[in-house]
Amino acid sequence: MTMATDITATPTDVSAQSLLQLIWLASPALPVGGFSYSEGVEAAVEWAGVDSEARAAEWLSDQLHLSFARGDLAVCAQAIMAWQAGDMPRIRQLNRWVMATRESAEFLLQTEQMGRSFVEWLKLHHADTAEVFADLGASYPVAFAFAAGRAGATVHDGSLAFAFGWAENMVGAAVKAVPLGQSAGQRILGRLAQEIPDAVTRAMALGDDERQAFAPLLAVLSARHETQYSRLFRS
């Protein structure tokens, strides 16, 4: 028999703090440099015809499902479990996979820089951060997973926060690069927010042999972006 949920119940302090931590972690204001990367969006505006709200929405939706969910989102979900279990060999394995699957120099720079900046921010909140990451050059998904695990988040909720943070940064990049108005950006973000739960469910179901980072058009655009004449973003 399924018990009914009391929607008037007051959340516990632990659940409220966990939720607030996840909102904080997903914020584009977090000082890790996410706002300075477009992950190919800027190059797509130049060479792939992403020149309108509709095309930007389709591009980001495809990127969510075909690239992000199959790669970094799946890593983040697995890394949250590994951090909570204290499984450092597994953490190192996942981190190596992220580093080895960056398909351009700027994508590698991004995950290294954001991971490093995230660790510096974590040092302000967790006394053992320096020790934990002493010999681990953490990629961004692995560093985020550590923070989500320490927040007491479930794998599902931590993955949702990671995905929404990604979506906010990508929409922000599209608003600047296409360019689009703020209302258009909010419509795109609303669409991605509707699609993220399904992407998270599928990402959490992937095993090691099912993760992939094969996105050839995105890789080509990123490589071209490295020498793009006029750029707003680092990727």
Average pLDDT taken over every residue of the chain: 92
Q: pTM of this prediction? A: 0.92
Average pLDDT value for residue range 142-159:
95
Structure tokens at 232: 């707003």
Q: What is the pLDDT of residue 231?
A: 83
pLDDT tens digits along 164-193 = 999 999 999 999 999 999 999 999 999 999
Between CA 96 and CA 1 the distance in angstroms is: 45
Residue 2 has pLDDT above 70, yes or no: no
For residue 25, pLDDT beyond 70: yes
Mean pLDDT of 140-167: 96
pLDDT band at 35 (very low <50, low <70, confident <90, very high): confident
Residues of the chain with pLDDT > 90: what percent?
84
List, for residues 40-77, the tens digit of each pLDDT value: 999 999 999 999 999 999 999 999 999 999 999 999 99
Q: Please compute the mean of the pLDDT values over residues 200-207 and round it to a whole number.
A: 97
Query: Residue 87 — pLDDT band, cuts 50, 70, 90?
Result: very high
Question: How confident is the model at residue 154, as a pLDDT?
Answer: 94
pLDDT at 233: 87
**pLDDT at 8 (0 to 100):** 39
Which residues, 6+ apart, have CB-to-CB distance to 189 below 8 Å?
167, 168, 171
Question: For position 18, what pLDDT does the model report?
Answer: 87
Q: Is the pLDDT of residue 205 over 60?
A: yes
